[in-house]
Amino acid sequence: WHLVRALPFTIDDKIIKWFGTNTDIDEQKQLQRQKDDFLGIASHELKTPVTSIKAYAQVLGAMLTREGEHKKAEMVLRMDAQVNRLTNLIGDLLDVTKINSGRLQFNKSWFDFNETVLETVQDLQHTTQKHQLIQNFSQTGSIYSDKDRISQVITNLITNAIKYSPHTDKIIVSTRRENNEAIVCVQDFGIGIPEDKKDLVFEQFYRVSGNKQHTFPGLGLGLYISSEIIKREGGRMWVNSVEGKGSTFCFALPVDETNS
Ligand code: ADP
């Protein structure tokens, strides 16, 4: 390609452009690969020390509690919570590199969809005192999928609902069966998403910008990872939202009639 590019062209302009475009795409692909490789290596290297810090923090916290040093134990607990955040960020970076290089693997089995949603909701209710996660479930049936990955997606939607509704406390998690699909929706009454940004939120590293949004931490990867997981599991994900009123994120997965 470089040879072609270096030639003093006198031929048809269209052909020159055509060659040029291919070279650019080649270079872009290579750059993207290098970026993905770097992200993969960096996040992998970060994972080991962070795991070790977490283990020490937990041992230290338990020791301090045993010794009656409650104030110090409380500080270590906060350290542990921050380490968890770091672990989740690194996990997201690793997932993105896996998705982009086609190495995201699924460990599939049959499981009851509602049960998994319920478990995830209960786990997350423990992490928030302010928000109330209201369950509105109806029968969905069993699905054949990766339970941990599906739970990861539900977790992401609920933690977003919590994060982006700082002034309201109600979050509704509902499930339903429609034709051959199990559907779950997470509705919040928070800041909402502007109409023209709704489709963009599923893109990697995309975050809605604006004065209000600057105060929310994040990398803009959760929804990209979630929608890719759902897509690869044969489902679909969408959002309904009104700016200033709230958002409803949903996804649907196929249900096998013979197993439900
Ligand atoms: P992050 O939350 O780390 O920025 P996500 O990929 O989960 O990354 O979300 C991308 C963007 O979509 C967010 O930055 C935010 O602007 C918007 N968003 C996601 N969920 C909600 C929600 N429940 N309410 C309002 N905006 C949301």
Q: What are 60-87's pLDDT values in tens digits?
A: 999 999 999 999 999 999 999 999 999 9
Dist. CA 68 → ligand 1 center (Å): 41
Please give the torsion angle defined by the CA atoms of residues 53, 131, 194 and 222, in that order, rounded to the nearest 10 degrees: 30
In this prediction the pTM is: 0.85
d(CA 257, CA 224): 29
Ligand 1 near 188 CB (within 6 A): yes
Counting DSSP H helices and E strands in the chain, the numbers are: 6, 7
Among 85, 223, 230, which Cα is nearest to 150's? 230
Greatest distance between any 2 Cα atoms in the chain: 84
ipTM of the complex: 0.99
- CB 155 within 8 Å of CB 216: no
Q: How far apart are CA 256 and CA 202, in angstroms?
A: 27
Task: Name the residue at shortest CA distance from atom 21 of ligand 1.
Answer: 160
Residue 39 CA to ligand 1 center (angstroms) comes to 21
| Probe residue for ligand 1, chosen from 86, 96, 164 as the CB with the greatest number of ligand atoms within 8 Å | 164
pLDDT tens for 182-214 read 999 999 999 999 999 999 999 999 999 875 656
Among 193, 198, 215, which residue has the most ligand 1 atoms within 8 Å of its CB, making it the best to mutate? 193
